[in-house]
Structure 1
């Protein structure tokens, strides 16, 4: 729900919008799927893993950017006619990727931070850039989700065949394998393992 809500609730993605998602793990790919469902004209996936970018395409990304090989900011601007994306969703939570999101958005656009930073992280940008670029900077706590409203919506979308919830599960693991799965997630090997008891 965090990624889906980050796009539709916090970012207010609408039909025809351009959307960039930085970080294509489970949350980022949910944001991509949600932006596609909302009718975004262009959905740009940014990650350092070609495997995650391939999954992003399956979720609805129209363009992919491997940020190890290409600077995502000018690439996103180029893909959006030089303007920047209407909504940029940061699903990583690092200051570097938040800065990329800030500079990759359209002047009147919205940056949504759904990736959770650690307490010592700082985002530093010239205050004149904050003023001059306008738009909105928003944080998204669990996608601004309201379970009584959103969970039935997800079930309906799944039953209609418009949202394949099973595709968000990249592997199932036993409870004893949780630590190993966390290690693989930190290494970027697997976006979304699910514990099966």
Structure 2
């Protein structure tokens, strides 16, 4: 029988979200119903509410989630009821040109559940990133469920579903940060701090955190930054060069998504260094760089989509490191809240006081 549960709905652009009753159908072929235990409040959810992603209202928000598989549909073999899983928005297809070349982390045909969750009147919902986890239960493609060790805290584990994985992956997967490297991270929100943590985990010798907020820089230092730069007070390019012997960093990770900070990242790297863009720009933004500088600096300019992660590979590994005490995911959980406090959590995002508010169900 279909499940009637509570979920956080954004009905129109810019309007406050509300908790409403939604209908979750029984899982069809290749699908799973997951009982959500925890879901982080991500900036992407706010972008959905504000119409910054698309106009397919109403949205069922939430996507950084962990929970327990409750039911599976026909043909599902990778997970079963009772499995503790992290939800992901990269359910690889196994058939596209990237998958066939052994690069499933770049899958070009990721998929979601075929059926739609609805409001009580039958209105179809658009689940955020194909997940929709600000709800007591959600319907996803079974490939969006990654089984991990159930000893992990759901509040911490769920954050790997988006922002924390994006940051760690930007350092480890996209940036290929290694032992002894110098790294600069511009923007110390949740994703930037995760990139700092990932760089520290990878063995970087020097990790320079750049932000305009001293509170965020203090948090960055607690997560592995060796040096901090307040770019409101100091030219960040000059500061990064000074801290790296005048050369620039081996890898600069831009976690803001603005042309100004991208230019800073470009000029703050060493010759043959790497720039990784993991901050998400808005559609109207453009970037202008002298082509001779692009040629003369060499190296690589990369974009990191979901930290270039492969959930089946990366989530279990990172959860194991968390359980060993080597990866402090709990540090990203600033507060736990109820389902009806999501709108207040959006307001707190603007104040810069939280890394993540996490809805507990």
What residue is the counterpart of 1:76 in the other structure? 240
Among 62, 75, 79, the alignment partner of 2:226 is 62
Q: Which consecutive residues of structure 1, in runs of 5 or more, have no partner in the other structure?
A: none
Q: What does residue range 84-95 of structure 1 map to in structure 2 within 5 Å?
A: 84-95=248-259
TM-score (normalised: structure 1): 0.97
Q: Whose RCO is larger (CA < 8 A, sep 6+)?
A: 1
The separation in 2 between residues aligned to 1:103 and 1:192, in whole angstroms, is: 31
What residue is the counterpart of 1:112 in the other structure? 276
Deviation (angstroms), 1:186: 2.8
CA RMSD of aligned residues (A): 1.0
Among 22, 31, 41, the alignment partner of 2:186 is 22
Q: What does residue range 76-155 of structure 1 map to in structure 2 within 5 Å?
A: 76-155=240-319
The separation in 1 between residues aligned to 2:341 and 2:235, in whole angstroms, is: 36
Is the 8 Å Cα contact of residues 169 and 194 (structure 1) preserved in structure 2? yes
Is the 8 Å Cα contact of residues 25 and 192 (structure 1) preserved in structure 2? no
Is the 8 Å Cα contact of residues 170 and 192 (structure 1) preserved in structure 2? yes
Cα deviation code 1:131-158 (max 9, x no counterpart): 1111100000010010000001111111
Q: Which consecutive residues of structure 2, in runs of 5 or more, have no partner in the other structure?
A: 1-164
DSSP 3-state at the match of 1:108: strand
What residue is the counterpart of 1:163 in the other structure? 327
**For the pair shown, which has the larger CA radius of gyration, 1 or 2?**
2
DSSP 3-state at the match of 2:184: strand
DSSP 3-state at the match of 1:29: helix
TM-score (normalised: structure 2): 0.54
The separation in 2 between residues aligned to 1:185 and 1:135, in whole angstroms, is: 35
DSSP 3-state at the match of 1:122: coil
Is the 8 Å Cα contact of residues 52 and 191 (structure 1) preserved in structure 2? no
Higher strand proportion (structure 1 or 2): 2
In the alignment of these two chains, the number of paired residues is: 197
Cα deviation code 1:78-98 (max 9, x no counterpart): 000000000000011011111
Cα deviation code 1:42-87 (max 9, x no counterpart): 0000011111111111100000011111111000000000000000
